[in-house]
Amino acid sequence: MGATSWGFKKSLWVFHLNAGACNNCDIEVLDCLTPRFDIERFGMKLVGSVKHADVLLVSGFVSRKVLPDVIETYEQAPKPVAVVALGACGCTGGIFRDGYNFAGPVDKVIPVDAYIPGCPPRPEAIIDGIVKLMGKL
Amino acid sequence: MASTLGLVLNFLIFPGLLFTAIVGLLTQWVDRKVSARVQWRVGPPWYQPFADILKLLGKEILIPEGAGRTGFLFAPLAGLAAVGVVSTMLWLANIQGGGFVGDLIGVLYLLTIPSLGMIIGAAASGNPLASVGASREMKLVLAYELPFIIAIFTAVTKVSPMTLRLDGILDYQAVNGVLLGNASCIIAFIVAILCAQAKLTYPPFDVPEADTELMDGTHMEYSGAALAVVKLSQAMMLFTLPIFFITIFWGGIVLTGWGILYTIIKYVIIVTIIVLIKNTNPRVRIDQAVRFFWGPVTVLAIIGMVLAMVGL
Ligand code: SF4
């Protein structure tokens, strides 16, 4: 088991799920891939299919409309999988917490392993959060 | 009995599955590192591909509802085994002179099996996007096989007396200098590299995988150890194809004295060409890819063949 858990720590493939974010958090996620921040240094990459995911990166406050999809996506991911709540919205609901269609935040819906607050969080903060997550795994 | 055991060991350890997998994964790291440097990034550490495979082995294998279990799980294994056999055949022909009549044709057949495995596996997964990927992969195979075979047979034509044995081609090159010294074979080599790009489904011919539109297409439904098999056979292809080209066009592998250095240099040159093409071209559409291979590339391959026939 030692080898596979070492591999898990060193190679986190991230599936990004937008659960009603205003899109600003999502832009910051893409920033992490640019030459300036280059998250591939830690072996991370964005994958297109949730079947390849090790980390579910959920941004946004989880609206009522996407609630079933968030749960289904979490169930489709092959376990073990870590969940990261991104942005003030993902952590607490942020500016949308009084909204009529607020069904979140993320940790009310699926178990969350790490929180990255900020509106939007800076790329440095995202990298910091992910590295802390790596230490925790 | 002893020789059977030897062959099994050859297939499983050196130069078959294990050796090919290790060098293939290292090559994949070179690929990712060079890509990162081309984009002014730092890139992953050297053990990255190994960590990926180890991690995938520890994850859950999900089989989609409505998928054909057998086809879905066994097709990638067939691909992996086929690449292992090709690698074993190439190395044995190179270092022991152990070929047999028609082994070149066997290699050509076996090199398509990973693609066929991906087509069967993706079609069995029952996912609409994966089946679009499978249909594109099928068209791509139809497109590149013709020029690829013509290119390889240009080398065969050039060798006199004509032979379909890998070690026959190597012996001819040992006596008469490498085939890459001829105009016809240079053309054939260029064609073969372009087809290798499509065989590896690297950009600009990554239409069956197309991360942004098909979400990894043919690989989409694979997870855990099954995905590890898929990724591993890709890495092994990245190692086997350059070795095949070195064998056919560039004098083969020499493992004595300076030969080791020359072999590594040849290998690195071919891999670098493939990686640079990968990084400097955007993805084409599937119809453009088919037109490209059946049009200019086939014409180029035929020109090479004609040149070889008139003795250039
Ligand atoms: S945290 Fe801020 S930036 Fe991110 S989705 Fe919510 S409102 Fe937008």
- How far is the C-alpha of B66 from the C-alpha of A69, rounded, in Å? 20
Question: Given 3-state DSSP classes, what are the helix, strand and coil percentages for chain A, each rounded to the nearest 5?
Answer: 45, 15, 40
Q: Which of A1, A38, A80 sits opposite B41 (nearest CB)?
A: A38
Which of A51, A134, A137 to probe by mutation at the B interface, max B CB count within 10 Å?
A51
Point out the residue among A5, A40, A52 whose CB comes nearest to the CB of B58: A5
Task: Tell me what pLDDT residue A60 has.
Answer: 85
> Longest Cα pair distance anywhere in chain A, in angstroms?
47
State residue B1's pLDDT score.
Answer: 47
Q: Could you tell me which of B158, B150, B199, B153 has the C-alpha nearest to residue B180?
A: B158
Interface contact B37, partner A, CB < 8 A: no
Show Cβ contacts of residue B2 under 8 Å, excluding neighbours closer than 6 positions. Answer: none
Tell me, what's the pLDDT at A33? 84
CB contact under 8 A, A35 and B221: no
Helix (H, G, I), strand (E, B) or coil at B196: helix
* Cα angle B137, B142, B144; round to 5: 90
d(CA B287, CA B214): 16
- In chain A, DSSP assigns E strands to 13-18, 45-46, 55-59, 82-86, 114-116
Quick one: closest CA in B to A35, which residue? B41
B228 phi/psi in degrees, rounded to 5: -60, -40
Q: What residues are paired with B165 via a beta bridge?
A: none
Number of domains in chain B: 1
Amino acid at B181: G
> To which H or E segment does residue B294 belong?
none
Whether chain A has a CB inside 8 Å of the CB on B91: the answer is: no
Taking CB atoms and an 8 Å cut-off, how many pairs form between chains A and B? Answer: 88
Query: By the 8 A CB rule, do A25 and A89 touch?
Result: yes
N-term to C-term CA, chain B: 47
DSSP bridge partners of A17: A58
Query: Residue B99's domain spans which residues?
Result: 2-309
- CA atoms A51, A52, A54, A60: torsion sign: negative
Residue with tokens 């591909």: B49
Burial category of A58 from C-beta neighbours within 10 Å (exposed 0-12, middle 13-18, buried 19 and up): buried
Tell me if B199 sits within 8 A of B111, measured CB to CB: yes
CA distances from B311 to B131, B275, B304 (A): 45, 33, 11
Is the CB of residue A97 below 6 angstroms from any atom belonging to ligand 1? Answer: no
Extract the residue ranges of chain B whose pLDDT is less than 70.
1-2, 97-98, 210-214
* Distance separating alpha carbons of residues B211 and B191, to the nearest angstrom: 26
Q: What is the pLDDT of residue B2?
A: 57
Q: Which of B129, B105, B143 is nearest to B284 (CA)?
A: B143
3-state secondary structure B109-138: HHHHHHHHHHHHHHHHCCCHHHHHHHHHHH
Q: Is B205 exposed, middle or buried (0-12, 13-18, 19+ CB in 10 A)?
A: buried
Angle at CA B271, nearest 5°, toward B225 and B255? 95
* Interchain CB contact of B44 with A (< 8 Å): yes
Q: What is the pTM of this model?
A: 0.83
SS3 B11: helix
Q: Mapping DSSP to helix (H, G, I), strand (E, B) and coil, where does residue B241 land?
A: helix
Nearest to B100 by CA among B92, B109, B108: B92
Give chain A's residues under pLDDT 50: none
A7, A51, A80 member nearest B54 (Cβ):
A7
B294 has which bridge partners?
none
Rounded to the nearest 5°, which phi and psi values hold at A129? -60, -45
ipTM exceeding 0.85?
no
Q: Which one-letter amino acid corresponds to residue A6? A: W
CATH topology of domain A8-136: Rossmann fold (3.40.50)
Residue nearest (by alpha carbon) to ligand 1 atom 2: A119
Task: Find the farthest-apart pair of alpha carbons in chain B and give their distance in angstroms, rounded.
Answer: 59
Query: Taking CA atoms, what residue in A is nearest to B41?
Result: A35
| Phi/psi at B264 (5° precision) | -65, -40
B266 and B287 Cβ atoms separated by less than 8 Å: no
Domain boundaries, chain A: 8-136
